[in-house]
Structures are given as structure tokens and as C-alpha cells.
Structure 1
Amino acid sequence: MEFNEYQKLANRTLYGNEQVLTNCALGVASEAGELVDLIKKYTFHGYDLDKKELVKEMGDVLWYLSQIAEWADISFEEVAIQNIEKLKRRYPDGFSEERSQKRTEHEPI
């Protein structure tokens, strides 16, 4: 599935009013917290990593992110493209600890 197709299909289930942006921003934080909790339990509490739950929580984060983009009239594909372009500039040969440690915090995106 392509990013923009996902964004449009996900939008069918959006509900809200003038508070949509706030709801979606809070939703990202809430769902990211649930995702982090799964990883914490796996890493520190001896739980098995429940991949079905991991996929579910990542999907919930994705849904909220796609709807923030939709609200702002930004294609989700554009978000993905710009992120990859930033990563290519930041790490042209792939991730390196040295480049990470020497990069400035406010590099242009």
C-alpha cells in the first residue's frame, strides 16, 4: 500500500471538530506510549515480544500521524520523502556514530 492511499483510507475513520489536530497530537503521544510500554516489558520485565501487539500499536501511531498530515494538507508520501532526503544528507553512507556525534542540532531539513 502506498502512503497517500493509506492516508486517504485512514481518513475515512477520522472523527472530530476544530479540535482534530489536538486530538491527533495527543493520540500520537498516547499510542507511542503504548508502543514503548510493550518494548519496555520485553526489554526489562522478561515478557515475550508480542509482534501482533507491536504491529497494532505501530499502526495506531501511523494512523494519527497520517491524520495530522491530512489535517495540514500534507501528503503522507511527502513526509516520507522529506524524511529520507534528510537522512541521506545527514548520513550519506548510512548511519555512523561519528557523523551522529558531530552533527549540529539545527541542521536544515
Structure 2
Amino acid sequence: MEFNDYQSLANRTLYGNEQVLTNLSLGLASETGQVVDLIKKYTFHGEQLDHEQLTKQMGDVLWYLSQVAEWADIPFEEVAQQNITKLNHKYPSGKSVQ
């Protein structure tokens, strides 16, 4: 699936009013926190990483990101491409050496 196609399809489920950006921002923070919590439980509490739940929560983060971009009239493909361009510039040889 292309990023812009995802953005358009995701927008079909957006419900909001004049405070839609606030709702999207709070939702993004909340869903990101759920991703972080799953990783924390795996890393520090010895729990198994629930791939199904992680995938679901990451999808929710993706939805919120796509809709913030939609609200700002930014094609989601542009977000992805600019990020890859930035990473290629920052790490021209690939992965960073730690």
C-alpha cells in the first residue's frame, strides 16, 4: 500500500470538529505511550513481546500520524520521503556505528 493511499483511506474514519488537531495530537501521544509500554514490559519486566498487540498499536500510531499530515495538507508520501532523505544524509554509509 502506498502512503498517500493509506492516508486517504484512514481519513474516511476521522471524526472531529474544530478541535480535531488537539484530538489527533492527544491520540498520537496516547497510542505512542502504548507502544512504549509494550516495549518496556518486554525489556524490563521479562514479558514476551506481543507482536499482535505491538502491530495493532503501531497501526494506531500510523493512523494518527497520517491524519495530522492530512490536517496540515501534507501528503503522507512526502513525510516518508523526506525522512528517508534525511536519514540518507545523516547516515550515508547506512547504519550508524556505536
**What TM-score range do you get, normalising by the shorter chain?**
over 0.9
Residues in 2 aligned to 1:96 and 1:53: alpha-carbon distance in whole angstroms: 29
Residues in 1 aligned to 2:32 and 2:96: alpha-carbon distance in whole angstroms: 26
Task: After TM superposition, give the deviation of residue 96 of structure 1 in Å.
Answer: 2.1
Task: After TM superposition, give the deviation of residue 4 of structure 1 in Å.
Answer: 0.5
The reply on whether 1:19 has 2:16 as its aligned counterpart is: no
What is the alpha-carbon root mean square deviation over aligned residues? 1.0
Q: Which runs of 5+ in 2 are unaligned?
A: none
Partner in structure 2 of residue 44 of structure 1: 44
Q: Which runs of 5+ in 1 are unaligned?
A: 99-109
Residues in 2 aligned to 1:10 and 1:96: alpha-carbon distance in whole angstroms: 34
* Counterpart residue identity of residue 52, structure 1: E
Task: After TM superposition, give the deviation of residue 97 of structure 1 in Å.
Answer: 3.6
TM-score by length of structure 1 reads: 0.87
Q: Please give the secondary structure, in 2, of the residue aligned with 1:28.
A: helix
Residues in 2 aligned to 1:5 and 1:57: alpha-carbon distance in whole angstroms: 20
Partner in structure 2 of residue 62 of structure 1: 62
How many residue pairs match? The answer is: 98
Percent identity of the aligned residues? 73
The reply on whether 1:94 has 2:82 as its aligned counterpart is: no
Partner in structure 1 of residue 29 of structure 2: 29
